Amino acid sequence: MADKMMDNLLSLTGEISLITGGGTGIGFGIATAFVKAGAKVVISGRKEEVLKKAVAELGENACYFVNDISQQKAIPDFVNQVENQVGPISILVNNAGRHLKKPMSETTDEEYLAVLQTNLLSVFSLSREVANRMSERQRGSVILISSMSAVMGLDRVIAYTTAKTALIGLMRGMVADYSKYGIRVNAIAPGWIESDMLYKAIDADPERKAKIMNRIPVKQFGKPADIGNAALFLASIAATYVNGLFMPVDGGAAYAF
């Protein structure tokens, strides 16, 4: 009986979710959790072959749209396309991201802006477009994927750190503006999660890898499913009164240095 009650609390049956960057890594982990919970899941990204493979694994409750989220002017048409073909979006997960590993002294203005474009400016535009539609329906959940770089100083990721920290401000502003329309806005700060992006960043830098592992109290990297489960909670009715939460999912790394 208790298990059935918990299943009901975490059920996303009848919900339509849009997950940007949902074809791999953390985005795919979130998509997997949502599909298992009964949601209709729309994933988006730039590479159709990646999205096709992901949807084949996710099953019949998933579909994809090829889209470059950094193209802000195209966002209204993109959201129109999703809602016209799939239905009204009730859960938005802003997961698509762009990384740059360079010290500030070597980061150009153009590189800095390119990271902010994907990780912040486009998140603002997509969140506004979807939240405005949610407002008309008087319900919705928006989840922003921030980073532990928003709570600790990490070297050589100045542009990424700026964008992911700014998402906390975006979350707070959205809570103030949209809560009266029945929309909840929360943010997850993943720690070091197993993904191609992580291994690309650390495999060629053993010293950095050792330093990272020493900062994680549980002494292991997280998995995409760990972020998927956190997002599932925030999107579900189990979190009905959770609004404006900044949730680190990092094995304790943010508070153990």
Annotated catalytic residues are 160
Burial (CB count within 10 angstroms: exposed 0-12, middle 13-18, buried 19+), residue 85 = exposed
Under 8 Å between Cβ of 59 and 252: no
CA–CA separation, 78 and 217 (whole Å) = 41
Instruction: List CB contacts of 196: < 8 A, sequence separation 6 or more.
Output: 24, 25
Q: Report how far Cα 27 is from the mean position of its chain's Cα atoms.
A: 6
Residue 24 near residue 196, CB atoms below 8 Å: yes
